Amino acid sequence: MAKIIDGKEISARIRAEVKTKVEHLAARGITPGLAAVLVGDDPGSRVYVSMKAKACAAAGILFDEHTLPADIGEDSLLALIEEINKDERIDGILIQLPLPAHIDERRVLESVSPHKDVDGFHPFNVGRLALGNPLFRPCTPYGILKMLDESGVCLDGKDVVVAGRSNLVGKPMAMMCLARNATVTLCHSHTRDLGRKISAADVVIAALGRAEMVRGAWIKRGAVVIDVGINRIGEKKLVGDVEFEAASKRAGAITPVPGGVGPMTITMLLSNIVESAERRFSPWRA
């Protein structure tokens, strides 16, 4: 049976480290700050923002929330972001997605200062990651990298299959594995014979958004399996993108859903905010 990679436990450890760093910053007169911008009243987005507010409060990070009406004009939103870009109390800016249809999401994300882009979505940060010199890394794949590190998985020379090529997870994940000297195969909806590719992998990272699509029988014996998927089955049940029971009989280590990758995302957001606050001591921000 595979070892379970426990995201809750790793996350708690990293949050404790973040808290210590916040205390060190406080001793130097600095409180790290996050500004969250929420447009409209989508209930899902509200829940996410309140989870982030709670996590910031627990870590000692200032949380400045801007809730704006759904019909706000794009120019007003851009003006607010410009103000926050200049606000010296703020180290990170989070634009809660999705934005209403009349707002150009790309334009808004690009208006965030790359030096406060703690989600790592700005083209500047995507470029830095692609060049192997990251400033901010997107939180979910960064969390996965931490989980692998904390579990003693070395990626050097390994065959890694990343299934899913979203800008949020798959693509940056592939870049991060490449930076660790893995040989990366990035699969997507046009990939032929996904099973064959996965069955050759030492490490499988599934970010498809397709319930249990990765069959247990595809997993190479001893492989490490990271399941990013969150798929709701009926009212209560959550399953990942990997057929967990069957895969855990073959894998060397595997993340569960829930309790695997999920808890890491907000943790890495906190970590990025603190990294950003630490850069206040640099001659320029980054």
Binding residues vs ligand NAD (CB under 6 A): 140, 163-166, 168-170, 187-189, 191, 194, 207-210, 228-231, 261-262, 265
CA distance readout (Å), 60 to 16, 54, 55: 11, 10, 9
Active site residue 96: yes
CB of 160 to ligand NAD, least distance (A): 15
Q: Which is nearer to ligand NAD, 21 or 171 (CB)?
A: 171
Q: Which is nearer to ligand NAD, 84 or 270 (CB)?
A: 270
Pair 276, 116: CB distance under 8 Å = yes
CB of 51 to ligand NAD, least distance (A): 11
Q: Which of 21, 96, 117, 202 is catalytic?
A: 96
Pair 241, 231: CB distance under 8 Å = yes
Q: Where are the alpha helices (DSSP H) in the chain?
A: 7-27, 43-59, 74-86, 105-111, 123-130, 139-150, 170-179, 194-199, 244-250, 264-278
How far is Cα 184 from Cα 178, in angstroms, rounded to an integer?
6
CB of 138 to ligand NAD, least distance (A): 9
Pair 125, 92: CB distance under 8 Å = no
Q: Which is nearer to ligand NAD, 92 or 143 (CB)?
A: 143
The H helix count followed by the E strand count for the chain is 10, 11
CB of 133 to ligand NAD, least distance (A): 24
Q: Which is nearer to ligand NAD, 91 or 212 (CB)?
A: 212
Active site residue 42: no
Under DSSP, the state recorded for 226 is E
Active site residue 119: yes
Q: Which of 21, 52, 146, 220 is catalytic?
A: 52
Q: Which residues are catalytic?
A: 52, 96, 119
